[in-house]
């Protein structure tokens, strides 16, 4: 979603990503899934500067109870996140939102 405020356009890109790296919902991005629970989310249109990114684990509670997600890198073109259990990286579904100016 894009809204204009004078010379600036505020944009929100959001989605749900499956543990296998598939896009469950959302648009305006692609997913590159790497080993060890690492996912690279590439924006179709880059932000003007580094956006704010928030991620949350997605899945059945019995499967995701001990899971966490961290955002390990953010650029105007993409962000990298990693999902894990308390003792090792592990694939997991997640949702995200990226907010900034385009």
Each residue of 58-85: pLDDT tens digit? Answer: 988 877 789 999 999 999 999 999 999 9
Q: Is the pLDDT of residue 1 over 80?
A: no
Task: Return d(Cα 75, Cα 33) in angstroms, integer.
Answer: 17
Sign of the C-alpha dihedral computed for residues 74, 52, 99 and 33 taken in this order = positive
Give the CA count within 13 Å in the CB-facing half-sphere of 65. 3
Q: Is the pLDDT of residue 22 over 60?
A: yes
Q: What is the pTM of this model?
A: 0.90
With CA atoms as reference, report the closest residue to 66 among 81, 86, 83: 86
What pLDDT does residue 55 have? 98
What pLDDT does residue 65 have? 83
Q: Is the pLDDT of residue 4 over 70?
A: no
């Amino acid at each position: 979603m894009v809204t204009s405020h004078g010379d600036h356009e505020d944009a929100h890109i959001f989605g749900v990503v499956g543990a296998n790296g598939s896009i469950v919902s959302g648009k305006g991005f692609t997913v590159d899934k790497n080993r060890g629970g690492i996912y690279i989310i590439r924006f179709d249109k880059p932000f003007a500067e580094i956006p704010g990114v928030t991620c949350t684990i997605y899945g059945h509670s019995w499967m995701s109870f001990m899971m966490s997600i961290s955002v390990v890198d953010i650029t105007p073109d993409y962000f990298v996140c990693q999902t894990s259990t308390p003792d090792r990286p592990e694939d997991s579904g997640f949702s995200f939102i990226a907010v900034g100016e385009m």
